[in-house]
Each structure stands twice: as structure tokens, then as C-alpha cells.
């Protein structure tokens, strides 16, 4: 397995993988999210490939204070083979290279299954509630 930074031409297979992993939502435009992450200097999408084919992906970004991870997904046929852990390790390295002191992410309430995954990687729950408002509707 290899991990590399996504390029614009990776958009379609990456979004298809995110869809297969159940990560997309009707109110988020995953294609636009992919393009915006690549267009900004402070974010990237990292891809895991096995035998040259896409097996997993994660979006990572540094806001100048904390590092955030989004859209972590692994091909359902290739799970429990260490790809998710390798992508998180790559995201951690990406952030460490930018001297980011802490990595964070949001987990949807109904996504209990991933808690065991993150716990296995040494992550613990923070006692915070995230609040948000869409800006693209204004």
C-alpha cells in the first residue's frame, strides 16, 4: 500500500469511494469539497492505493491552531487491513510537518462503529459540542 497526495484528476474515484464508504450527505457537495481542499494551501486529500488502485482517502487541513480530518473512508472490500490506520498516520504526519499541535475530527452520533477504530489508534473523546452555521446559504 502506498499513500500520496491527491491531484485534481483523482476527484471522481475519490468521491465514488467516499460514497461507497457512506460518507457523503445530500447537503454537502463532495466534489466541491474535494476541489476546495486541493485549492487551499492549508489542506489536502491523501489517498491510499493498493496495486495502483484507490483503496482509501482522507481530507486533512490545518486552521493555524488545530488540525482537522474529514472524509476518512476505506473501500468496504479492503477494511481491517490497516489502511484506515495508515491514512490517519499520514494525516498526523502531514499536520506535524506544519507544526500543528493537535489533530481533531468530528464523528456523527450514529457512527458508533468508528469509535472502536479511533480508540485503537489512541484517540479519545473530547468533552465539547461543535456548533455550526452554513455560510454558503447567505
Asked whether position 21 contacts ligand COA by CB under 6 A, the answer is: yes
Asked whether position 19 contacts ligand COA by CB under 6 A, the answer is: no
Nearest to 8 by CA among 58, 45, 61: 45
Asked whether position 7 contacts ligand COA by CB under 6 A, the answer is: no
d(CA 115, CA 97) in angstroms, rounded, equals 26
Query: Minimal distance in Å, beta carbon 4 to ligand COA?
Result: 17
Query: Minimal distance in Å, beta carbon 108 to ligand COA?
Result: 7
Q: What residues numbered 108-137 form the site for ligand COA, per CB under 6 A? A: 111, 113-114, 116-117, 120
Beta-ladder partners of 70: 59
d(CA 123, CA 82) in angstroms, rounded, equals 16
Asked whether position 81 contacts ligand COA by CB under 6 A, the answer is: yes
Asked whether position 22 contacts ligand COA by CB under 6 A, the answer is: yes
Cβ–Cβ < 8 Å for 103, 69: yes
Q: Please give the backbone phi and psi of residue 101, each rounded to the nearest 5 degrees, phi first.
A: -85, -15
- Give contact residues for ligand COA (rule: CB under 6 A): 21-23, 72-74, 79-85, 107, 111, 113-114, 116-117, 120
Amino acid at each position: 500500500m502506498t499513500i500520496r497526495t491527491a491531484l485534481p484528476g483523482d476527484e471522481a474515484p475519490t468521491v465514488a469511494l467516499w460514497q461507497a464508504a457512506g460518507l457523503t450527505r445530500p447537503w454537502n457537495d463532495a466534489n466541491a469539497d474535494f476541489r476546495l481542499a486541493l485549492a487551499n494551501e492549508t489542506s489536502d486529500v491523501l489517498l491510499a492505493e493498493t496495486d495502483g488502485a484507490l483503496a482509501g482517502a482522507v481530507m486533512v487541513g490545518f486552521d493555524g491552531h488545530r488540525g482537522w480530518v474529514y472524509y476518512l473512508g476505506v473501500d468496504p472490500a479492503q477494511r481491517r487491513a490497516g489502511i484506515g490506520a495508515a491514512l490517519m498516520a499520514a494525516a498526523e504526519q502531514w499536520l506535524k510537518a506544519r507544526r500543528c499541535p493537535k489533530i481533531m475530527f468530528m464523528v456523527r452520533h450514529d457512527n458508533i462503529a468508528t469509535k472502536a477504530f479511533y480508540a485503537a489508534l489512541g484517540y479519545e473523546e473530547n468533552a465539547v459540542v461543535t456548533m455550526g452555521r452554513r455560510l454558503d446559504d447567505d
